[in-house]
Amino acid sequence: MNKELYNYILSIADNCLILGQRLGELCGHGPTLETDIALTNISLDLFGQVRSYYQYAAKLVDDKTTEDDIAFLRNEREYVNALLVEQPNTDFAFIMGRQFLFDAFHLMLLSELQKSHDVTLAAIASKSIKEVSYHYRFSSDWVRRLGDGTPESKERMQAAINDLWAYTEELFYQTASEKLLIEKGIAVDLSQLKASYYQNITDVLEESTLTIPDSKWFKKGGKEGIHSEHMGYILSDMQFMQRAYPNMKW
């Protein structure tokens, strides 16, 4: 097994899995029917992307490992998603802020991943980027609407950005596997995306009449398997059926 490639695939896919699970919790709880359906569809898009990544990762392990094994049978420390995507659903502004900060990164990542020397990763990125382009338009539009809306919506959106800002830096943290694969032209050099990401975020927040947080303190750990207290609760829900009924097939 190419351990570095396997780890790199998980570093991309786990973000989509955990954020998709978070959005799935909102099914039937959106502020309007249209928004509820949109969030559910974004969740399904992310799960579709996850399947492609995990199917590829499973082939790198052996002929018996399946995408379900990778999704449901790992322990908490074996997931390598960023801390941002595991943050809990609070109010709608927080949900949109979390989505926007991830979507802006995700879109840039896929744009570059299309150039990967790994043809499978490049193909997944090319297929996924249309969906993620919509995700970004949806979340950034809501940030603008809430930020430049009523006094209450502005206050809530600003509070969400302030809270979530500390999780953005980790998106660009490079693991040992990523650094090795960058040299081979497989992985995306995230350090080259960081300045453009923060400029994009700043532009949208300014359009939204929101203030860019000036905090220089950032939280990290998720990409190395060190998660927040929220992760265990996510996995207990997500993995219950497979843990309770091993080898269950639909």
250 found inside a domain: no
Over the stretch 203-241, which tens digit does the pLDDT of each residue have? 999 999 999 999 889 999 999 999 999 999 999 999 998
Residue 249 lies in a domain: no
Residue 89 and residue 25 in contact, taking contact as beta carbons nearer than 8 Å: yes
Q: CA 148, CA 151: separation in Å to the nearest integer? A: 8
- pTM here is 0.95
pLDDT tens column, 15-34: 999 999 999 998 888 888 88
* 3-class secondary structure, 157: helix
For 46, half-sphere exposure in the C-beta direction (CA atoms, 13 angstrom radius) is 27
Measured CA to CA, the distance from residue 218 to residue 79 in angstroms comes to: 20
Cβ(113)–Cβ(56) below 8 Å: no
- Do 159 and 93 meet the contact criterion of CB atoms below 8 Å apart? yes
Local confidence band at 250 (pLDDT 50, 70, 90 cut-offs): low
Dist. CA 109–CA 192, nearest whole Å: 10
**CA geometry: angle at 84 spanning 106 and 79, to 5°?**
90
Residue 184 lies inside a defined structural domain of this protein: yes
Model pLDDT, residue 36: 86
Secondary element (H or E) of residue 51: helix 33-61
| CATH code of residue 60 | 1.20.1260.10
* Domain with 52 in it: 3-244
Number of alpha helices (DSSP H) and beta strands (DSSP E) in the chain? 10, 0
Query: Tens of pLDDT along 64-120?
Result: 999 999 999 999 999 999 999 999 999 999 999 999 999 999 999 999 999 999 999
Q: How many angstroms separate the most distant Cα atoms in the chain?
A: 57
How many domains are contained in the chain? 1
Q: Assess if residue 67 is contained within a domain.
A: yes
Residue 247 pLDDT grade (very low, low, confident, very high; cuts 50, 70, 90):
confident
pLDDT value at residue 216: 86
Nearest 5°: the CA angle 237, 242, 243 is 80
Phi, psi of 247, deg, nearest 5: 65, 20
